[in-house]
């Protein structure tokens, strides 16, 4: 499978695109919400929304053509509890998350994000400190964040950032360093492709702890230091995470 990239740091994708609140998206906005960040063509959420219709689903994606195609599929099936929105998650999603009613967001998934392998492009990766804290702020204690990738160099920094923020725990029963199975009943297309090729998939499930959010400035400074260290050496930074 070939990934089609867009540069999220370009001027076009840095324009804020306000997202509609749940009452404007869903027929029953009080249902628990699953947010899939980087939903691509949307087929994963399309299948999941039909398999588990008891909640609402929102997929956000930076490639506008994929959002249009996904929305066409959704409309054809008349699924009022599923929507797709075009946006840059690191520009437009934080305010939307902050405005959600407490307890509405049930789970967040970030699956097989664009890898942006070159070190100088790591700032283009989807999970950045401000977005992570916005997710943590919107999730009530016990609600979940699920990440997976087939590229260790992509998921390992995500794990480092999530654990550095101090707002999430891993279920005691999950295997380390990677969860064995997918906690969701539907695989993504990328997951299906990787497994069919006999390739490993790296998964981690997190639950929101009761810890307070750390200061964004401290987490951002730690993250920038980690990026700087990665330019100087081929290995990951071993700097200590910030303390809340």
Which H helix or E strand runs over 155? helix 152-165
- Rounded CA-CA distance 219/12 in Å is 27
pLDDT of residue 229: 78
37 closest CA partner among 122, 132, 103: 132
What gap in Å lies between CA 193 and CA 41, rounded to an integer? 15
Q: Which fold has domain 17-213?
A: Rossmann fold (3.40.50)
User: Can you give the residue ranges of every domain in the chain?
Assistant: 17-213
The structure's pTM equals: 0.87
Q: What is the pLDDT of residues 178-213, one digit of tens each?
A: 999 999 999 999 999 999 999 999 999 999 999 999
Tokens linked to 175:
């295997």
What's the pLDDT score for residue 72?
98
Say what the pLDDT of residue 230 is. 72
How distant is the alpha carbon of residue 8 from its chain centre?
15
Residue 11: both structure tokens together: 């001027």
> What is the three-class DSSP state of 4?
coil
- Give me the active site residues, please: 114
- Predicted confidence at residue 15, as pLDDT, reads 72
pLDDT of residue 236: 43
- Spell out, as residue ranges, where the chain has pLDDT lower than 70: 1-14, 115-125, 231-244
3-state helix, strand, coil in the chain (%, to 5): 40, 15, 45
Question: Is residue 142 helix, strand or coil?
Answer: coil
Cβ 72 vs Cβ 83: under 8 Å: no
């Amino acid at each position: 499978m070939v990934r089609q990239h867009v540069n999220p740091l370009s001027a076009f994708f840095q324009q804020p695109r306000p997202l509609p609140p749940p009452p404007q998206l869903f027929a029953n906005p009080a249902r628990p919400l699953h947010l899939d960040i980087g939903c691509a063509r949307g087929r994963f959420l399309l299948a999941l929304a039909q398999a588990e219709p008891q909640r609402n689903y929102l997929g956000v994606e930076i490639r506008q053509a994929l959002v249009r195609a996904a929305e066409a599929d959704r409309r054809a099936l008349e699924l009022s509890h599923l929507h797709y929105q075009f946006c840059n998650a690191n520009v437009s999603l934080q305010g939307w998350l902050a405005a959600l009613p407490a307890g509405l967001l049930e789970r967040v998934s970030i699956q097989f994000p664009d890898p942006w392998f070159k070190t100088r492009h790591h700032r283009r990766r989807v999970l950045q400190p401000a977005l992570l804290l916005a997710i943590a702020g919107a999730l009530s204690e016990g609600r979940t964040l699920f990440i997976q990738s087939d590229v260790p160099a992509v998921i390992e920094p995500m794990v480092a950032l999530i654990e550095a923020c101090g707002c999430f725990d891993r279920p005691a029963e999950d295997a380390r360093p990677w969860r064995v199975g997918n906690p969701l009943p539907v695989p993504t297309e990328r997951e299906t492709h990787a497994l069919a090729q006999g390739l490993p998939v790296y998964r981690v499930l997190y639950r929101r702890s009761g810890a307070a959010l750390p200061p964004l400035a401290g987490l951002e400074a730690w993250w920038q230091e980690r990026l700087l260290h990665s330019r100087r050496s081929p290995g990951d930074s071993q700097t200590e995470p910030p303390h809340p």
